[in-house]
Amino acid sequence: MKIGVIGTGYVGLVTGTCLAELGHEVICVDALPQKIDLLNDGGCPIYEPGLIELIRKQRQAERLSFSTDLAAMAPDRDAIFLAVGTPPGPDGEADLGFVRAAVRDLAPHLAGFTAVVTKSTVPVGTGDQIDAMLADLRPDADVAVVSNPEFLREGSAIGDFLKPDRIVVGTDDLRARETMQALYAPLTDGGAPLLITDRRTSELIKYAANAFLAVKISYINEIADLCEELGADAARVAEGMGLDARIGARFLEPGPGFGGSCFPKDTDALLGTGRAAAVPLRVVTAASEANRERKRLLAARVAAVAGELKGRTVAVLGLTFKAGTDDMREAASLELIPELQRRGAKVRAFDPKGMEAARDLLPGVAFCRDAYDAAKSASAVVILTEWPNFRTLDLKRLGAVVETPLLIDMRNLFHPEDATRAGFDYVSIGRPA
């Protein structure tokens, strides 16, 4: 099939590349020539494991190409995916400016039946708005607007796309439905469930799923706080809960609070939708507030065990919002580090992928070569993300360079006995010291 993708951000690039991998002929379009030039030169504007290799493979197979020319891409595509950004507006609700601009730019060039598919996370009712825009701009066009939310995790997006838990498609249009069924046939033939709903339901599934996962994380984080007070082990509590198939074991890892471009933004957007509909979403409100507060208090957590921070050095290992990405959006480090600095601490930091982006966001931080370099003369070493390299750190070697052997592990990467044996005072999340 002939596919177009508008927007070569995270979602657009992964979607376009993976659709090419399914055998379709895909053109990805972006308004920014420097992005397209980079992609055409064999580069990739984002870090996502396996993506650059897959782009290379699909370009060689001539199934994937990049262009700034929307007018040339648009005619006679079976489906055109809108994968432009939907950043939070001033009141937390998603700003649809880029979506509207993309529809306006696209409308004049539509020819032949086209499914116009929203891949970006958009508030319920956006499909209706796009429908109305297209009816106004191109009453003659043969189009159907479809919702097809993405469920990709940064760091494992390609696997998530090619082996999805489910594919959700929202449309009442028969031809669009057939188009989407054919498009995803290589995945559904392999057993991926396809759920077809009306458009509004599909739009809401995305928010409801993300908000539920956010609730799950805030829930286990609060249980972990309770474990610390009661001398229980949050990891075992999560294990015991997760064995109940109704609960499930995944997404029950306590940590510094959720970040990233999705959970904080999508919970806020859902709360905005709830307010507009006069439906109080109390559970989601609590999860969002608990998370904000958790991240605000990270430095206090460090000070509670390290004592006075003024003039002392704190090493922070991991800066991105989670491992496997270079994405700094809503990362816990952006809350922790400025507050450590405000309290007078010097911060040395290391991240395997995030330091380039972090440099502009975290002034005054000494960015280091590796974890051992960051730990030099530190009064406390704080682990913020679960990079696999941190799990295999040589704690003896780390202990030899620090000033005070205090390890505050906010991702529970180590067995407490191992850390203690290596000479560290070890503090983790929701586990007995």
Active site residues: 262
Binding of residue 212 to ligand UGA (CB under 6 A):
no
Rounded (5°) CA angle 114-115-117: 140
Q: What three-state secondary structure class fits 79?
A: strand
Strands 425-428, 406-409: pairing kind = parallel
- Of the candidate spans 20-28, 50-58, 132-140, 145-153, the one that interacts with ligand UGA by CB under 6 A turns out to be 145-153
Binding of residue 252 to ligand UGA (CB under 6 A):
yes
Binding of residue 210 to ligand UGA (CB under 6 A):
yes
Q: Is residue 153 part of an annotated ligand binding site?
A: yes
Binding of residue 260 to ligand UGA (CB under 6 A):
yes
Q: Is residue 160 part of an annotated ligand binding site?
A: no
Which of 259, 272, 352, 416 binds ligand UGA (CB under 6 A)? It is 259
Q: Contacts with ligand UGA: how many residues (CB under 6 A)?
A: 21
4 or 259: CB nearest ligand UGA: 259
* In the complex, minimum distance from the CB of residue 9 to ligand UGA, in angstroms, rounded to a whole number: 11
Torsion from C-alpha of 98, 103, 104, 109, nearest 10 degrees: 140
Q: Is the dihedral of CA 178, 182, 183, 185 positive or negative?
A: positive
- Convert 197-253 into a string of H (helix), E (strand) and C (coil): ECHHHHHHHHHHHHHHHHHHHHHHHHHHHHHHHHCCCHHHHHHHHHCCCCCCCCCCC
166 or 396: CB nearest ligand UGA: 166
Binding of residue 204 to ligand UGA (CB under 6 A):
no
- Half-sphere exposure (Cβ direction) of 157: Cα atoms closer than 13 Å: 26
Binding of residue 255 to ligand UGA (CB under 6 A):
yes
d(CA 22, CA 228): 48
Q: Is residue 255 part of an annotated ligand binding site?
A: yes
* In the complex, minimum distance from the CB of residue 370 to ligand UGA, in angstroms, rounded to a whole number: 22
Which of 3, 262, 406, 429 binds ligand UGA (CB under 6 A)? It is 262
C-beta separation of 173 from 195 below 8 A: no
d(CA 29, CA 106): 11
* In the complex, minimum distance from the CB of residue 155 to ligand UGA, in angstroms, rounded to a whole number: 7
* In the complex, minimum distance from the CB of residue 191 to ligand UGA, in angstroms, rounded to a whole number: 19
Helices (H), 277-383: 282-296, 298-306, 333-342, 355-361, 371-374
User: For residue 151, which amino acid is it?
Assistant: F
Binding-site annotation, residues for substrate: 151-154, 206, 251-255, 259, 322
Q: Binding-site residues for NAD(+), please?
A: 30, 35, 86, 121, 154, 265, 329
Contact positions vs ligand UGA (CB under 6 A): 121, 150-154, 210, 213, 217, 251-253, 255, 258-260, 262-263, 266, 321-322
